[in-house]
Amino acid sequence: MKFNTKTIHGGQKNDPAYGSVMPPIYQTSTYAQSTPGGHKGYEYSRTHNPTRNALENAFASIENGNYGMAFGSGLAAIDAVLKLLQPGDEVVSTNDLYGGSYRLFTKIYKDFGIKFHFVGMENADNIEGYINENTKLIWVETPTNPMMNIIDIKTIAEVTKRKSVLLAVDNTFATPYLQRPLDLGADIVMHSATKYIGGHSDLVMGALVVKDQDLANRLYFIQNASGAICGPQDSFLALRGIKTLHVRMQRHCENGKAVAEYLTKHPKIEKVYWPGFESHPNHEIAKSQMSDFGGMVSFVAKGNNYEEAIKIVENLKVFTLAESLGGVESLAGHPASMTHASIPKEEREKTGVVDALIRLSVGIEDKVDLIADLRQAIG
C-alpha cells in the first residue's frame, strides 16, 4: 500500500460490532468477563483499548513498523524509551533538540545515573568518539528543533548497528510523510503526535513505533507498567488527523518553502534556517532522506536583536504567538523564552538558539496572507 492510502486504511478494519467505518470511541476503563480471564481480548484500558489499538496500528503502518504505541504526550513516549536503560548507561543525543527532551534527560534521568552526551551530529562521524561499552542509546532529532539541522539517519544507523546500540529518531518535525527512519535503519521512531500527526492543535499525545518484537514487548511492558497512555477520545482525534496527514503536509511544505524564500530575500532578515535551501549545510542529506522539506522555518532579523524579535512576534496577526507546531494554523514562537527556556543560555547559544531567533510553524492557510502578515510584522 502506498503512503497516501496507508494514512486512511493502514492497520484499520471496520468495527466488528456494527461495521462503523471509523473506530468507535470506546470510552471505558474496563471490560466484562464471563469468568476470571473469560474476556474478548480486553481487560483494562491502561493495558488495551480498542480505539487506542486502532491508532497504534495506524502509527505502525504509516512508519513502516510492526508495532505502535500511543502515550499521553511526546515526553511520555520519550520517557518510556529512557526506561529501557539502567544506571551507568550512556546516551548520545543531538545537541540541538526540543527543550523538554533536554530537561527530561538532564533534570530527571541524569539523577538516576544515566549519562548524556550532547553532540553536533551534522557530521555523523562525530558520534564515534562518544560511544563506549556503556553506550546504549543514540537519540536523534532530525530536522532539529529549532535550528533545522539535518542528521544523516542511515549513516548513524550503520554506526549503531556495528556497535549494538539502539538508535531512536524523533520524527516529529518531518512526519512519516517526509521521512521514515525505520526504513533507514533506526530501531525506534518517536513522535510528539501533538504536532503534525494530530494536526489540529486539539490534543497532546506521543507515539513510538518499532520493527523488532522483543523491543516492542519491552516497550509495551513499560507502557502498561508505567501507565502513561492516552485516552480513547484523543486516540480517535489522532486517527482522524492521520487520515489527512498527506494532504496537510503537502500544503505545509508548499507554504514553508514560500515563507522561507520570502524571508531570505527580505532586506531586514539576516539568516533563515530551512533545509530546502541549497546553501543549507546538509541539504543533500535532506534531499536523500526526506521527500520534501516540511513547514518549519526559523530566522533571525538583522542586528541579531532581542527587542526586534519580540516586536516581530507581537506584530503578527495571522500567525499566532504560541508554543507547539504542526497544526493547520500558523504559529510563531520565541524559542529562547518559550520552548527552549529550560536549556541554559550558554548551552543553547552554542547551537544558534540566540535570543533573537524566531521559529515559525507554517500552517495551511493561503500563503499570500502568510507572507503579507510577515511583511507587515517585520516592517
Q: Which residues are catalytic?
A: 46, 98, 170, 195
Q: Nearest residue to ligand P1T, using CB?
A: 74
Q: How far apart are alpha carbons 198 and 195 in whole angstroms?
A: 6
Could you tell me the smallest distance in angstroms from the CB atom of residue 305 to ligand P1T? 23
Which C-beta is closer to ligand P1T: that of 168 or that of 184?
168
Strands 269-273 and 296-301: antiparallel
CA 218, CA 212: separation in Å to the nearest integer? 10
Q: Please, what is the minimum distance in Å from the beta carbon of residue 100 to ligand P1T? A: 5
**CB closer to ligand P1T out of 206 and 275:** 206
CA distance 325 to 30: 34
Q: In what order do the strands lie in the sheet with 188-192?
A: 67-71, 206-210, 188-192, 166-170, 135-141, 90-94, 115-119
Whichever of 310 and 322 has its CB closer to ligand P1T, that residue is 322
What minimum distance in Å lies between the beta carbon of 197 and ligand P1T?
10
Report the C-alpha gap between 195 and 361 in whole angstroms: 10
Tell the burial category of 74 from Cβ atoms under 10 Å away from its Cβ (0-12, 13-18, 19+): buried
Q: Nearest to residue 251, comparing CAs of 374, 365, 332, 171? A: 365
CA distance 10 to 306: 46
Query: In whole angstroms, how close is the CB of 234 to ligand P1T at the nearest point?
Result: 11
CB of 145 or CB of 298, closer to ligand P1T = 145
CA dist., res. 279 & res. 121, Å (int) = 18
Which positions lie near ligand P1T, rule CB under 6 A? 73-75, 98, 100-101, 141, 145, 170, 172, 192, 194, 204, 206, 323-325, 333, 339
Shortest Å, Cβ 318 to ligand P1T: 18
Q: Nearer to ligand P1T by C-beta: 45 or 101? A: 101
* Cα–Cα distances in angstroms (integers) from residue 203 to residues 8, 156, 227, 235, 236, in the given order: 19, 32, 18, 9, 10
Measured from the Cβ of residue 351, the count of other Cβ atoms closer than 10 Å reads 19
